[in-house]
Amino acid sequence: MTNRETDEATGVETTGHEWDGIKELDNPMPRWWLWTFYACIVWALGYAIAYPSLPFVSGAPKGVLGYSSRANLHADIADANAEQADLLQKIETLPLAAIRNDANTFQFAVSGGRAAFAVNCSQCHGSGAQGSPGYPNLNDDVWLWGGSLDEIHTTLKHGIRFQQDDDTRFSLMPAFGTDGLLSRPQIIDTSHFVRKLGGLEHDTEAAERGAPLYEENCAVCHKSNGVGDRKQGAPSLTDAISHYGDGLNAIAAQISRPRHGVMPGWKDRLDPATLKQLAIYVHSLGGGE
C-alpha cells in the first residue's frame, strides 16, 4: 500500500506491486466481466433454490422443482419395461415358429438372446459362438442334437448329459479302450477307417481291417456310412467339422476314452422368455435349420 503511486504514462494509480521494475496498474475490472460475474451469482442462487444442491450431512434439500435424476431414471426404466413387457409377453405366449415370423418380435428376441448368450454361454461357446474343441460352434448349420428351433430349445432347457435333469439329452459312447472292448491295434485300425469315412488320408490296409470293427461297434450310433445320429448326439464322421479333432491320435483317443461332453440345462436358471430368446438367437446364427 505504501508504494502506491500514479503511473506517468497512463495516469492510472498502481497497486504498489513491483517485479524487477515492472509495476502493476490498478485498472478497474471490465464492466462486462463484472456483470457476467453478478449474473452467475444470481443464477447460482436461483439454481440452489430450484434444484437439490446444498450438500448437508444426510442428503440435500429437494429444491422447489422436486427434480431427481434417480426418479427420472426410474421413470425411464419403467417406460422401457412397459414397452418391452408387450414384446416379452408375446415371446412368452407365442410358439417359437410364430415369433420367428413376426419381424418386430423376432428382432427383439435376437437382441435379447444375444445379451443372454454373452452372460451365460460365451464362457464355453465363445463370445461369437464360434466354439472350440469340445464346445460346438453354433454358427454353422451342423448339429449334434438338432438345429430346428424346437430342438435347440429342448437342448437349452434340459442340457446334454446334465445329471440334475431327468429329461436331459443323453447318450454315452462306450470307452472302447479303457473298458477293454477293443485292443490298441484294433483302435488304430478303426481310426484309419474313420479317417477314410471323412475323406482324409489313411492307411488303406488298416482301414480295411477297421471296416468290420466299425460296422460291429460304431455303426449303431454313427451309421454305416458315418453320417451320425442326432437322436444319440453322435456326430457325423463324414463332414469337415470335428468336435474333438480329426487327427489319427485325436480319433484314437476319442475311441479309447470318449469325452462325454456336458452342457448344463437352463430351465431352472433362466426364465422361459429368456430361453426362447436364446433359442431364436442361436437358431438365427447358423442361418437356422
Nearer of residues 108 and 214 to ligand HEC, judged by Cβ: 214
Beta carbon of residue 192, minimum distance to ligand HEC (angstroms, whole number) = 10
Per the listing, cell 454353422 goes with 140
Q: How far is the CB of 242 from ligand HEC (least distance, A)?
A: 4
Q: How far apart are CA 114 and CA 282, in angstroms?
A: 8
C-beta closer to ligand HEC: residue 26 or 203: 203
Q: Quick one: 108 or 265, whose CB is closer to ligand HEC?
A: 265
Long-range contacts of 92-96 (CB under 8 A, 24+ apart): 92/272, 92/273, 92/276, 96/149, 96/150, 96/153, 96/276, 96/279, 96/280
Nearer to ligand HEC, 90 or 223 (CB): 223
Whole-angstrom Cα distance, residue 117 to residue 285? Answer: 12
The Cα 33–Cα 42 span in angstroms is: 14
Residue 165 CB, nearest approach to ligand HEC (Å): 14
Q: Which is nearer to ligand HEC, 23 or 223 (CB)?
A: 223
| Burial classification of residue 45, based on how many CB atoms lie within 10 Å of its CB (0-12 exposed, 13-18 middle, 19 or more buried) | exposed
C-alpha–C-alpha distance, residues 195 and 36, integer Å = 84
Q: Smallest distance, Å, CB 213 to ligand HEC?
A: 7
Q: Shortest gap between Cβ of 260 and ligand HEC (angstroms)?
A: 5
The rounded distance, in Å, linking the Cα atoms of 222 and 237 is 7
- Alpha-carbon distance of 145 to 153, in angstroms, equals 11
Nearer to ligand HEC, 79 or 208 (CB): 208
Q: For 85-90, which contacts have Cβ atoms below 8 Å and span 24 or more sequence positions? A: 88/273
Q: Write out the residues near ligand HEC by the rule CB under 6 A.
A: 117, 120-121, 123-125, 134-136, 138, 143-146, 152, 155-156, 160, 171, 173-174, 176, 190, 194, 214, 217-218, 220-222, 232-235, 237, 242-244, 251, 254-255, 258-264, 266, 278, 282
For the bound state, the minimum distance from the C-beta of residue 276 to ligand HEC, rounded and expressed in Å, comes to 11
Pick the closer one to ligand HEC by CB: 26 or 151.
151
Residue 105 vs 254, nearer CB to ligand HEC: 254
Residue 122 CB, nearest distance to ligand HEC (Å)? Answer: 8
Using an 8 Å Cβ cutoff, are 102 and 90 in contact?
A: yes
C-alpha to C-alpha distance for 248 and 196, rounded to whole angstroms = 11
CB of 194 to ligand HEC, least distance (A): 5
